Structures are given as structure tokens and as C-alpha cells.
Structure 1
């Protein structure tokens, strides 16, 4: 696979894992009933059956994988707590970041958590 395909595959794996976790989060709530429950159960089963690749990604670099999952989960959680106007602002901030990465890199650094992946 080329690097673009690898990037796309990793994105699918990461978001699929987050979706499986999000489905687990809504179980035992009023959102999880009737047709929604049936649909989410089917999606969860399908994703879990096809997330074997996630184990391969994790075994390649457990610490990086754990940090990526945690950071994405945190980002999705933060985005979910915003209203539409705030999401528009966040989108504009992202556009500014994309156009001016060096400005932002001088202000922030990527922080990773050291884990014991044994």
C-alpha cells in the first residue's frame, strides 16, 4: 500500500474504534432503543468483526496508537460539546492553522503520554 492508502486505512481504523466506543457509551441510555438499538448493534458487530487491523496497528506501536486513540476521543468529545456557531469558529481556526502551521507550532507542541504497553 502507498502512504496515501495507509493514511486512509488508519483513519478508518481510528474512527471505527471511536464509533464502537461511542456506541458502548450510549448503551443503557434512552437513545439506545428500538430501531436505533438494532442498527447500532449491527454496526458495532460489523466494525468489531472488521477491526482486526486495529490490533495490527496497535502492535506496531502501542504507545503511539494509544495516544492517537485518546487524543481523537478527546477531540470528538470536545467537538460534541460545541454548538453550531462554535463549530464554525473551530473550522475557521483549523483553516488558519492549515495556512499558517509555523505560527501555531511556535505556540504549541504535541504532547504524548508514556504508557507501559506490556
Structure 2
């Protein structure tokens, strides 16, 4: 499938943001964290680590930092010993998750077709 070029009058900053977000959303951890926080609300780091199966502590930390930088999550540090850190989606993060909800719907609608295509391909 050929990539559609942006319109000539496209703001280069918008184009750069779209390219960054596509790369980030293609990163499975961002989408999974968006989904987990949307489903559970505010969570402590340890709770997120337990719910986002398979993610390393380093990758979870890196992904959350990038999401915080982009305004998708807020990080709250409570001044207790040991420190308690909680994360929650911002409106911006929730809207990104909603925007990509269509991918889930597409996957539901086309799961059998994709599996059949893979079976055909693998049997060659």
C-alpha cells in the first residue's frame, strides 16, 4: 500500500507530530497502558506493572515518561515514605485511546479473515 503524501499546505509541525504519534502508538506498550488506565483509572506504578503483562520495569518507566512528556498521562508523587507514585490518563490521552479504538473494532471484524490469510500463506 502506497503512503499518501501530506497535502502541500500541511503544517510541517503537524506532519512531524502525526509521524511521532504513529510511531508511538505502533509501540504496543503505549496502547496497552492507555487501555489499562482507561479501564482502571488512576494506578500506582506497581499496579500498572502487574496489569501490563510482559513489560519490563525499564520499558514501563520509559513509556510512562514519554506519555507524560506528550501530555497523555499525569504523574502524581505523594510525599510519603516510601514515595507513592500514581498515573492517570489526561483528557488528551483518553482522546488518543478513543481515536485508535477503531483499530480494535477492525481487528474484531476481520480476525477470521486475517487468520485465514495467514494460514494460506504459511501452508505454501
**Smaller-chain TM-score bracket:** 0.3 to 0.5
TM-score, structure 1 as length reference:
0.38
TM-score, structure 2 as length reference:
0.37
Where is the helix percentage greater, Structure 1 or Structure 2? 1
Larger radius of gyration: 2
Where is the strand percentage greater, Structure 1 or Structure 2? 2
